[in-house]
Amino acid sequence: MKTGLLLLAALLAVLSVCDGVRFGPLCSGNPTNRRRTSDRWGEGRYGARRGSRLHKGLDIVCSDGATVYAPFDVTLNGKVIVYTDPKKAAINNGINLSGEGLCFKLFYVRPDRTSGVVRKGQRLGTMLPMQSVYPGITSHVHVQMCDKSDPTRYF
């Protein structure tokens, strides 16, 4: 019983740390973190259908080649490989980050580096060329929580 209460208290402490977290601007040219809505390739909201699976992230509009920024002070926790398909090599990059009590990944970003600390508003890297793989898509940074929970409340 005591162990269960301690675990519950720890969980509540973590949740309360994250309650007021808001992502700052992720991408040059999109200071309000406008979300990808619907295009010929699908929808950018969390939970949208992707064939037989569900979209496990939130897509934030970002032009190909744009600068991607740290949404708050973050620790860089390594590179992310998004796809196994060699046809998608042009956009097969991302970064794993943590900060403000959150662990999350940004897909379709070529990070300037993959370790260390980056302060809020500083450059993380460059948006990759989504149009070269998905012509006509609304180019975007895909934000995915490490536990694949819904990131929408942080925007």
What gap in Å lies between CA 134 and CA 40, rounded to an integer?
A: 9
For residues 36 and 59, the answer to whether their CB atoms sit within 8 Å is: yes
Burial (CB < 10 A; 0-12, 13-18, 19+), residue 138, is buried
Question: Looking at domain 22-154, which CATH architecture does it have?
Answer: Distorted Sandwich (2.70)
The pTM score is 0.87
Q: Render pLDDT for 96-151 as a digit per residue (tens, 0 to 9).
A: 999 999 999 999 999 999 999 999 999 999 999 999 999 999 999 999 999 999 99
Q: Render pLDDT for 22-42 as a digit per residue (tens, 0 to 9).
A: 999 999 999 999 999 999 999
**Is the pLDDT confidence value at 64 over 90?**
yes
| Average per-residue pLDDT for the chain | 91
Q: What is the pLDDT of residue 10?
A: 46
Is the sign of the CA dihedral 132, 135, 139, 144 positive or negative?
negative
